[in-house]
């Protein structure tokens, strides 16, 4: 890579927010390069089926939606590269990005690296991902009408998602590793109202997910107090133990992160570094929905266009 390579916009990531932004920037002849270190399409691409994306009344395969976004962005001229951005350095009128391809410069940068779900790291979790093991109730809960579920987690998200799943599931076993719930008192009060459908199990580790003929049938855990093994029959497992924003590469930058590592922005989606923006699941306050990520990507692109119109860079 030529060290003097300069682009109008470099987008870090190639998930729904990034690809949507690229569609908008490239349609207006804004020179746009995307760097993706994992899968083009992000978490959407590895989601088996998406039922709540507007415009697809019968749902759509995650990979198909991701491919469509990619093809549309490339049709307008987006340059999507497989590589990793390791650092963003503010050079004033331009931003320097250190990548696995070398150094690249941009007039504006959009961080759209998304977040990943924290994993349990137990046998069966990866094997049955999207086929009985899930990390998004609004995405996949409807597949379990009148089915039994196990939900893992004791924080706000676990309780909120478990209560949402009562719309579909016949019964939910909520497995909490610690001796008490970490969710807010208000949520715990609401949870008690669901005692007919949700059974809370404290001091239970989640050790293994067992399947038969490609389908999840039970979860094996351990009672920490008695050290006895316990089994929960189930049709599916939903894990809500937190998110890991993909922001490790920003740790030495001037870009501000919140307490869990997500990127802080103002109302214009701009970070603490002028000319560096963030959108989608990596942004603090994000709703973690594909539809909102694509919307934020489009919004970020329009804001970046205005930013670029007021900036000139000497090459």
Domains and CATH numbers, the chain: 6-116+243-309 (3.50.50.60), 119-239 (3.50.50.60)
pLDDT recorded at residue 1: 45
* Residue of 51, 116, 140, 196 with catalytic role: 140
Selection from 272, 285, 280, 284 nearest residue 301 by Cα: 280
Residue 139 annotated in active site = yes
Residue 213 annotated in active site = no
Mean pLDDT of the chain, nearest integer? 94
CB-CB contact of 150 with 238 (8 Å): yes
Residue 29 annotated in active site = no
Q: What is the pLDDT of residues 39-87, one digit of tens each?
A: 999 988 877 788 889 999 999 998 999 999 999 999 999 999 999 999 9
Q: Which residues of the chain carry a pLDDT beneath 70?
A: 1-4, 311-315
The interaxial angle of helices 16-27 and 290-309, nearest 10 deg, is 40
* Residue of 8, 29, 48, 136 with catalytic role: 136
* Residue of 48, 79, 139, 173 with catalytic role: 139
Query: Cα(233)–Cα(200) distance, rounded to whole angstroms?
Result: 15
pLDDT recorded at residue 314: 43
CB-CB contact of 47 with 93 (8 Å): no
User: Would you state the structure tokens that stand for residue 222, as one six-digit string?
Assistant: 């351990």
Give the burial string for 17-55 (b: 16+ CB within 10 Å, else e). Answer: bbbbbbbbbbbeebbbbbbbbbebbbbbbebeebeebee
C-beta neighbour count of 198 within 10 angstroms: 21
Q: What is the pLDDT of residues 134-146, one digit of tens each?
A: 998 888 899 999 9
Alpha helices of 128-233 — where are they, by DSSP H?
Answer: 137-140, 156-165, 185-192
- Give the SS3 label for residue 116: strand
pLDDT recorded at residue 157: 85
CB-CB contact of 8 with 105 (8 Å): no
pLDDT recorded at residue 212: 96
Whole-structure pTM value:
0.74
């Amino acid at each position: 890579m030529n060290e003097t390579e300069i682009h109008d916009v470099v987008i870090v990531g190639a998930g729904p927010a990034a690809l949507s932004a690229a569609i908008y920037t490239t349609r207006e002849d804004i020179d746009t390069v995307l760097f993706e270190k994992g899968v083009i399409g992000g978490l959407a691409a590895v989601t088996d089926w998406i039922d709540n994306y507007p415009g697809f009344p019968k749902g759509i395969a995650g990979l198909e939606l991701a491919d469509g976004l990619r093809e549309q962005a490339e049709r307008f001229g987006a340059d999507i590269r497989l590589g990793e951005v390791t650092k963003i350095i503010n050079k004033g009128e331009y931003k320097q990005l250190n990548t696995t391809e070398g150094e690249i410069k941009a007039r504006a940068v959009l961080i759209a690296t998304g977040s990943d779900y924290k994993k349990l790291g137990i046998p069966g979790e990866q094997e049955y991902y999207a086929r009985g093991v899930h990390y998004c109730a609004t995405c996949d809960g409807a597949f379990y009408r009148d089915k039994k579920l196990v939900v893992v987690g004791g924080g706000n998200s676990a309780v909120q998602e478990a209560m949402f799943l009562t719309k579909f599931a016949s019964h939910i076993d909520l497995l909490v590793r610690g001796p008490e719930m970490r969710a807010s008192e208000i949520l715990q009060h609401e949870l008690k109202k669901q005692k007919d459908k949700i059974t809370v199990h404290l001091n239970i580790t989640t050790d293994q997910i067992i399947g038969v003929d490609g389908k999840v049938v039970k979860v094996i855990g351990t009672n920490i107090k008695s050290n006895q093994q316990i089994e929960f029959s189930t049709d599916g497992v939903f894990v809500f133990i937190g998110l890991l924003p993909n922001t490790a590469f920003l740790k030495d930058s001037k870009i501000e992160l919140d307490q869990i590592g997500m990127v802080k922005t103002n109302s214009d989606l701009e970070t603490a570094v002028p000319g560096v923006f963030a959108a989608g699941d990596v942004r603090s306050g994000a709703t973690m929905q594909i539809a909102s990520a694509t919307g934020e990507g489009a919004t970020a692109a329009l804001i970046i266009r205005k930013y670029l119109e007021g900036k000139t860079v000497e090459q």
